[in-house]
Chains A and B, each alone.
Chain A
């Protein structure tokens, strides 16, 4: 039979349908109509599974056994993390998907405004069940705008915190970086240790012409959480953009980043690190659209995988027919620390222009015994020597970011994560 077989709804899908029916749809600055439309799209597709190409290595349908109800409001008891760089950082607190002005910095840096997110055309290029789900359930997100020409000396840290357990959050935010502006935005995702919950975040970012922007995402959710995050990033002309993802927490995580160059002569550095153990599963899926000529992109993703953990990287660079003189270099590297650790790497190039410079590569290996011996021969105990080599392997992804403050911040995070002294 050729008739399409409609697979039966899973328990999670049935819960989502029920939850949507009971949802107060006139909240968060989004019309009920938009939500209904998004949910219909989700319902049509269902939870993505391994026969959906983009989700081949992360069978969400199998992994998401249940869907927790969306948090109806922001939790009261919030343990705010220390600011990463409390010398000069403004905090924006988003608790259980809701903006909490009272926990955020009262004074924002000059030229930066924050407002409740309003309805707007989606910047996401393709339909994706998870993004639709976020749109259907989205909570009270914020829009952060940096005015034209403003150099924001203060970093902006968005702390996404899930309080308690057995709930789902659907934060949706928008960042707009004006022409010629300069900003550093750090997003952290945190929850209570050991708590079971689900995060499905979506962020739409527009970087203006001649702007310079760095976005850092630090995913350190509870080790039992499921974390889904979709980011759309549109880049204007003569802009300089860095995006960095650090995956450390959650049992299951998926970060999908959709980048499009809209103006010429721009640069993108998209990099990330995943440090995984136990049975963690972390997926980074990247789509870089060189839609216009003369842009440069550098993609570098590194994973360190221990125990029975699994890391997935899918990256696709598309060079459109007009996008001559594109320079794109994508590299994915992983270090396996156990025999049961697994890496799935799928870097791809689709090139439709003829005068371009593009390459991709992938390496998977173990700790080099010769390097280990050299360190040990100098008296460094094996465990510490291994940490040094793991750190050294990962450091490259950080050091390529040409921003000393960001490098220092990330190196501190990484050392803490690995329990390394230096």
Chain B
């Protein structure tokens, strides 16, 4: 279970997160919506352990462990996964090498042996088929020359391989056409599980037609200003964020 309490985060002297409280239990899917600049991506980076942010107050605990004490790789080993809004291209790192290194690093941190290469290959083949990730894509350097949709599918493939217990999806719908959105959403839904929590960060409601959340939170100016069920997303779609932004400004 993830517990975020009164989380404040600064970057270069600016306070971006101003007291976030959020609890995500296994099996729950939480959507976080909000206007641009509300701190959505910052929240995802802070959860994943990016070092550019200074945490001035509050805590993040996951399964009882203080996440703020852990580096990004240790958080991943603890079961957290961030699907990036802009997956990064790394020329010179072969996709397959990367996947294998990541999977085995996580296995080792959990006291497991490395997965033998034939089994690894089989696993990748199986998971990539569902996500329409071609063998040709897997032969390329990591994310290099991938289209926007390919990058997002590759992120979900990584998620499916690493089997995290907490998935944070940062604007996974951005840059996707209808077909790609459907493939990615199906990939995510397949990973919904009573033992797995998810945080779906999005600007638009349309992703939530595909990945139906249990809870919806509105983030504005670094705070959660409203929480509700999935119907809240529809309300936002109809009325926009103005109400919440205004409220905060008043």
Binding site for B on A (CB under 8 A): 369-371, 373-382, 384-385, 388-389, 391-396, 399, 421-422
Q: Given known contacts A377-B82, A392-B90, is B100 in contact with A382 (CB within 8 Å)?
A: no
Q: Given known contacts A373-B72, A388-B101, A422-B101, is B109 in contact with A379 (CB within 8 Å)?
A: yes
Which of B12-20, B25-33, B44-52, B198-206 is the interface stretch? Answer: B44-52
**A382–B71 CB distance below 8 A:** yes
Query: Which chain B residues lie closer than 8 Å to A373 at the CB level?
Result: 48-51, 72
Residue ID in chain A nearest B102 by CB atoms: A378
Q: Given known contacts A373-B72, A422-B100, is B158 in contact with A378 (CB within 8 Å)?
A: yes
Task: Decide if B135 is an interface residue (CB 8 Å cutoff).
Answer: no
Known: A377-B76, A378-B102. 16 other contacts (CB 8 A): A369-B51, A370-B88, A371-B88, A371-B90, A373-B50, A374-B88, A376-B73, A378-B98, A379-B76, A379-B102, A380-B101, A385-B73, A388-B93, A392-B91, A396-B91, A396-B92
Residue in A376, A393, A395 with the greatest tally of chain B CB atoms within 10 Å: A376
Please classify how large the interface on chain B is, using the bins under 10, 10 to 19, 20 to 34, 35 or more.
Answer: 20 to 34
The CA of A145 and the CA of B20, in the complex, are separated in Å by 75
The CA of A375 and the CA of B102, in the complex, are separated in Å by 8
**A376–B93 CB distance below 8 A:** no
**B162–A374 CB distance below 8 A:** no
Residue in A373, A385, A388 with the greatest tally of chain B CB atoms within 10 Å: A373
Residue ID in chain A nearest B107 by CB atoms: A379
Interface string of B80-115 (1 = CB under 8 A from A): 011010011011110001101110011001000000
**B105–A377 CB distance below 8 A:** no
**A379–B106 CB distance below 8 A:** yes
The CA of A377 and the CA of B72, in the complex, are separated in Å by 5
Query: Which chain B residues lie closer than 8 Å to A399 at the CB level?
Result: 92
The CA of A380 and the CA of B82, in the complex, are separated in Å by 14
Q: Given known contacts A379-B73, A379-B77, A380-B73, is B102 in contact with A374 (CB within 8 Å)?
A: no
Which residue of A371, A380, A382, A393 is within 8 Å of B102 (Cβ)?
A380
Residue ID in chain A nearest B88 by CB atoms: A374
The CA of A66 and the CA of B91, in the complex, are separated in Å by 44
**B162–A378 CB distance below 8 A:** yes
Q: Which of B97-146 contact A (CB under 8 A)?
A: 97-98, 100-102, 105-106, 109, 141
Query: Which chain B residues lie closer than 8 Å to A392 at the CB level?
Result: 90-93, 141
Shortest distance from the beta carbon of A203 to any chain B beta carbon, whole Å: 30
Query: Which chain A residues lie closer than 8 Å to B73 at the CB level?
Result: 376-382, 385
Binding site for A on B (CB under 8 A): 48-52, 71-73, 75-77, 81-82, 84, 87-88, 90-93, 97-98, 100-102, 105-106, 109, 141, 158, 162
Query: Which chain A residues lie closer than 8 Å to B77 at the CB level?
Result: 379
Residue ID in chain A nearest B78 by CB atoms: A379
Query: Which chain B residues lie closer than 8 Å to A393 at the CB level?
Result: 92
The CA of A396 and the CA of B98, in the complex, are separated in Å by 17
Query: Which chain B residues lie closer than 8 Å to A378 at the CB level?
Result: 73, 76, 98, 102, 105, 158, 162
Shortest distance from the beta carbon of A400 to any chain B beta carbon, whole Å: 12
Query: Which chain A residues lie closer than 8 Å to B71 at the CB level?
Result: 376, 382
The CA of A389 and the CA of B48, in the complex, are separated in Å by 20
The CA of A388 and the CA of B97, in the complex, are separated in Å by 10
Query: Which chain B residues lie closer than 8 Å to A379 at the CB level?
Result: 73, 76-77, 102, 105-106, 109, 162
**B92–A377 CB distance below 8 A:** no
Residue in A374, A380, A382, A391 with the greatest tally of chain B CB atoms within 10 Å: A374
Which residue of B90, B100, B162 is within 8 Å of A389 (Cβ)?
B90
- List 30 A–B pairs whose Cβ atoms lie within 8 Å, in order of A's numbering: A369-B52, A371-B88, A373-B48, A374-B84, A374-B87, A374-B90, A375-B90, A376-B49, A376-B71, A376-B76, A377-B76, A377-B81, A377-B82, A377-B84, A378-B105, A379-B73, A379-B102, A379-B109, A379-B162, A380-B101, A380-B105, A384-B101, A388-B97, A389-B90, A393-B92, A394-B92, A395-B92, A396-B91, A396-B92, A422-B100
The CA of A378 and the CA of B82, in the complex, are separated in Å by 8
Residue ID in chain A nearest B109 by CB atoms: A379
The CA of A128 and the CA of B88, in the complex, are separated in Å by 47
The CA of A394 and the CA of B100, in the complex, are separated in Å by 20
Shortest distance from the beta carbon of A195 to any chain B beta carbon, whole Å: 34
Residue ID in chain B nearest A370 by CB atoms: B88
Residue in A375, A389, A396, A422 with the greatest tally of chain B CB atoms within 10 Å: A375
